[in-house]
Structure 1
Amino acid sequence: MGTQVVVLNGGSSSGKSSMARELVRLLPGTWLRLGVDTLIDALAPSPEEEADVGLVIGADGEVVVGPAFTRVERAWMRGVAAIAADVPVVVEDNFLSGPAAQQRWREALAGLDVLWVGVRCEAAVAEARERARGDRAVGMARAQAEVVHEGIGYDLEVDTGVLPPADAAAVVAASVVAAAVGE
């Protein structure tokens, strides 16, 4: 069957989205690209609902995730898994809750062939990207650069501070293709 899901985990501004756009272009067949930002955008809470939704992004870039967000996230993960059973998916995420986040994905994706990819980038590089983008709270990239990788198990890691997005995507695509050929 081959890889059905590629999970990209990295901090804010690490290059996940740029890499994922290239990756779905390089992978054989039709792949969908879905990211946690899609989920966050779909929530669109009003300020008074933020506490209920359980996701608060502070002015300093700190992200606080509560139980209500985790409940919604679990449902979203199950939905992604249902899609991946028919159409392969590249998922962009940042495991702010560390191994617990990866475990939630493992539970949702049980029975599917998953490639776990760590998307690394030095904090200074991610921070420069964050400032250039202008659409993130300054400090988020530096705060997440390493913490999202702590305790996480990967099949493959790429450094988007060293490799351009297309090259990093090519490394991942080669791994997916090699796994399919090896079956």
Structure 2
Amino acid sequence: MSVQVIVLNGGSSSGKSTLARALQDELPEAWLSLSVDTLVDAMPARLTAGGDGIGFADDGAVDVGPDFTALQDAWTTGLVAMARAGAHLVVDDVFLGGTASQRRWLDALGDVPTLWVGVRCAPEVAARREAERGDRVAGMAARQAEAVHRGVGYDLEVDTTGTDPADGARTIAAHLRSSRGD
């Protein structure tokens, strides 16, 4: 059975979004790229300032409340419905809860064929990227670089520390071809 969803998990500024765009160029089918950042950007401002939504501390810590969790669950359900309707999805996420975050996705996806990809990046490189972006809280990238991978199982891992995104995309595409027997 052909993979319908590719889940990219990595810390902030690890290169997930750039890798997702490179995958869209590399893969022969049309793949939609959807990011947890899209979900956060779509939320009302009052839910991005902490409390019951999502909050970003000065040291880079991220806290999520019940309203964020409820919207995230609805978002996940919607993405799975898109995949079940035939859309190929590249999902760019940050598993703040490690194993529990992956479990949430596993439960939602059920039997939808999924490729789990760990996107790793050296903390110092992710921190440099974070500073260059200017749209992230300093410290978030270094804090998340290893934490988001704890207890998470992958089919494949790519390290974006010094790798061109196109090379990472080719690695993932080759894995997809070999799993299909191409």
TM-score range, shorter chain: over 0.9
Change (3 A) 1:65 1:48: closer
- Secondary structure of 1:61 counterpart: coil
> 1:91-128 CA distances to partner (integer Å, 9 max, x unpaired)?
00010011110001001111100000000001001001
> 1:121-162 CA distances to partner (integer Å, 9 max, x unpaired)?
010010011111111111000000000000000000000003
- Secondary structure of 1:33 counterpart: strand
- Secondary structure of 2:176 counterpart: helix
Runs (4+) off by over 4 Å: none
Q: Which residue of 2 aligns with 1:57?
A: 56
Matched, 1:45 2:45: yes
Normalised TM-score (structure 2): 0.94
Change (3 A) 1:48 1:142: closer
Q: Which residue of 1 aligns with 2:70?
A: 71
AA in 2 matched with 1:58: A
AA in 1 matched with 2:75: W
Q: Which residue of 1 aligns with 2:13?
A: 13
> 1:6-39 CA distances to partner (integer Å, 9 max, x unpaired)?
0000000000011000001111211100010000
**CA RMSD, Structure 1 to Structure 2 (Å):** 1.5
Contact 2:7 2:91 in 1 (8 A): yes
Report how many aligned residue pairs link the two structures.
181
Aligned counterparts, 1:83-162, within 5 A: 83-85=82-84, 86-162=86-162
Give 1:49 shift: 6.9
In structure 2, the gaps of 5 or more residues are: none
Change (3 A) 1:109 1:59: same
Q: 1:16, 1:49 → 2: CA distance?
A: 24
Contact 2:48 2:54 in 1 (8 A): no
AA in 2 matched with 1:18: T
AA in 1 matched with 2:54: L
Normalised TM-score (structure 1): 0.94
In structure 1, the gaps of 5 or more residues are: none
State the percentage of identical aligned residues: 51
Q: 1:180, 1:30 → 2: CA distance?
A: 17
> 1:33-52 CA distances to partner (integer Å, 9 max, x unpaired)?
00100000111322797413
